[in-house]
Amino acid sequence: MHCPFCRHPDSRVIDSRTSDDGLSIRRRRQCPECGGRFTTIETASLNVIKRSGVIEPFSREKVMSGVRKACQGRPVTEADLAVLAQTVEETVRQTGASQLDTNEIGLAILGPLRELDEVAYLRFASVYQAFDSLEDFESAIEQLRADHVRPAPSEAAGA
Ligand SMILES: [Zn+2]
């Protein structure tokens, strides 16, 4: 890429390190023309195929806005949503796939959302898994109850 200071078309890598999660590489670069230093972050491209067939880059913001609707009126903060979106991105990137469909994203959202807020989880699951009867809700709630027998991490959060 061009130097952001003088637009020189070349740069030299002076340092390169992998992020803690192993999902991106930061490169410290120096322009041989003006000496300016800048950082680039390299991540594998990750695309989402929407139901309409449109392909767009994965976006944490899109994950957050999808989950935000399910969290209306619930004690869930924007910071919680940001952490959830980050978890989802890490989960889907760890599959090694470069292209996912919205179903796979939805699936990756269910786990962390359940940890965050069970009511929001039920709302999200009812839309995402297309619940169409009370029985669907009942079996999802039964599943939650069954898992309550062992202490869930969400209880530590004071929910
Ligand atoms: Zn330069």
Give residue 39's pLDDT: 95
The continuous run of DSSP H or E covering 27 comes out as strand 24-30
Instruction: State the distance from the centre of ligand 1 to the C-alpha of 40, rounded, in angstroms.
Output: 14
What pLDDT was estimated at residue 87?
95
How many CA within 13 A on the CB side of residue 66? 23
Residue 10: strand pairing partners: none
44 Cα–ligand 1 center, Å = 26
Contacts of 15 (CB under 8 A, 6+ apart): 27, 28
pLDDT at 20: 81
Q: What is the pLDDT of residue 120?
A: 96
| Cα-to-centroid distance, 42 and ligand 1 (Å) | 20
Measured in Å, residue 3 CA sits from the centre of ligand 1 at 5
CB 48 within 8 A of CB 57: yes
Query: Mean pLDDT by 10-residue block, N- to C-terminus, for the chain (159 residues)?
Result: 93 92 89 96 89 91 94 96 95 89 92 95 88 87 84 53
Among 146, 144, 73, 80, smallest CA distance to 116 is for 80
Task: Look up tokens 């990756």; give the residue.
Answer: 108
Q: Would you state the structure tokens that stand for residue 26, as one six-digit string?
A: 């930061």
CA 33–ligand 1 middle distance (angstroms): 5
Contact, 91 vs 40, CB < 8 A? Answer: no
Q: How far is the CA of 13 from the centre of ligand 1 (A)?
A: 13
Cα(5) to ligand 1 centroid in Å equals 5
Count of alpha carbons within 13 Å of 8, Cβ hemisphere only?
16
Amino acid at 38: F
pLDDT at 153 (0 to 100): 58
What is the structure's pLDDT at 155? Answer: 53
Give distance in angstroms: CA of 15 to centre of ligand 1.
Answer: 17
Q: Is the distance from CB of 67 to CB of 83 less than 8 angstroms?
A: no
41 CA distance to ligand 1 middle (Å): 18
> Do 154 and 118 form a contact (C-beta atoms < 8 A)?
yes
First to last CA, the chain: 47
Centroid of ligand 1 to alpha carbon of 25 (angstroms): 22
Residue 71 Cα to ligand 1 midpoint, Å, equals 47
Query: Quick one: pLDDT at residue 11?
Result: 94
